[in-house]
Amino acid sequence: MAFLCRSAALLLRPCKTAPVALSAARLCSSGGQYEYIVVEKRGEKKNVGFIQLNRPKALNALCDGLMREVGHALDSFEADNGVGAIVITGSERAFAAGADIKEMQNRTFQECYGGNFLAHWNRVSTVKKPVIAAVNGFALGGGCELAMMCDIIYAGEKAQFGQPEILLGTIPGAGGTQRLTRAVGKSLAMEMVLTGDKIGAQEAKQSAFELTLAEGNRLEKRLFHATFATNDRKEGMTAFVEKRKASFQDN
Ligand SMILES: *[C@@H]1O[C@H](CO)[C@@H](O)[C@H](O)[C@H]1NC(C)=O
């Protein structure tokens, strides 16, 4: 995975001007309909698998249904010999502003741990074909993690990357603490994860290295699940849903 600071506008623009193609493309290969994403084959040779996250009112918040659809689209592109590479994008305003906090608000530790909550997101990082994230606007929390699961990130000038989970009383749970370190270096990653501060495309581009991820990811996921045993995680997410300031009690 590497951050490349290049205009994502080129990749983003065509989807806005092709509404006819889009409605046809909403049918997924099994005949079912995609509700949260737009899927089509792009390019002169139709060899680019294109996935656009499409929950504009929620700034593409990554609800469970959306991520299941992304997984399904990736499966079908991987099985399609006519597809050589895959692009995942959002809108100019948001790649994805985060995971779906409402869905998480009332989850318990037992549910998260027992069901290995978020484990299926990992599909994005196991696709054998190159996956490119074309990012503009917000790529926060789960959105930043989704972008970092891709092999390459093309970031537009308006892209903003961040892991603001700390502000909700939890931690990243889909590789954020692991991949961010490898993407921007330990110091900046620690600063971002501990403060929730965002960075732009230029800053994201400045350092990069890659190490084994699996064990770090496993541990991170379990610690993320553990935050669901705290009152502060519940309070943080409830305050977010109720659009008020969180009152953390350190428990
Ligand atoms: C979570 O539970 C509270 C009551 O404890 C309820 O008011 C709220 O609507 C629930 N949130 C969701 C998203 O179901």
pLDDT in tens, 190-200: 999 999 999 99
Residue 171 β-bridge partners: none
Q: Which of 49, 142, 143, 173 is catalytic?
A: 142
Amino acid at 25: A
Residue with tokens 């593409």: 60
pTM of the model: 0.80
Summarised one tens digit per residue, pLDDT across range 71-87 is 999 999 999 999 999 99
Considering only residues 103 and 28, tell me which one the structure prediction assigns the higher pLDDT: 103
Ligand 1 mean position to 106 CA, how many Å?
6
Nearest protein Cα to ligand 1, atom 8: 106
Summarised one tens digit per residue, pLDDT across range 122-171 is 999 999 999 999 999 999 999 999 999 999 999 999 999 999 999 999 99
- Mean pLDDT on 18-27: 34
Residue with tokens 């205009």: 7
Q: Is the pLDDT of residue 116 over 80?
A: yes
Q: Indicate if ligand 1 lies below 6 Å from the C-beta of 106.
A: yes
Share of the chain above pLDDT 70, in %: 85
Taking the domains of the chain in order of start, what are their residue ranges? 11-241
End-to-end Cα distance, the chain? 36
Q: Indicate if ligand 1 lies below 6 Å from the C-beta of 230.
A: no
| pLDDT at res. 204 | 85
- Mean pLDDT on 164-188: 92
Give the 3-state secondary structure of residue 118: coil
Q: Indicate if ligand 1 lies below 6 Å from the C-beta of 207.
A: no
C-alpha distances (whole Å) from 193 to each of 100, 126, 169, 187 are: 19, 24, 12, 10
Ligand 1 mean position to 142 CA, how many Å?
22
Q: Indicate if ligand 1 lies below 6 Å from the C-beta of 102.
A: yes
In the numeric block, which tokens belong to residue 134?
A: 């074309």
Q: What CATH number belongs to 11-241?
A: 3.90.226.10
Q: Is the pLDDT of residue 25 over 70?
A: no
**Is 165 one of the catalytic residues?**
yes
C-alpha distances (whole Å) from 210 to each of 161, 180, 205 are: 19, 10, 14
**Is 99 one of the catalytic residues?**
yes
| pLDDT at res. 207 | 84
Name the least confident of 3-7, 17-21, 224-228: 17-21
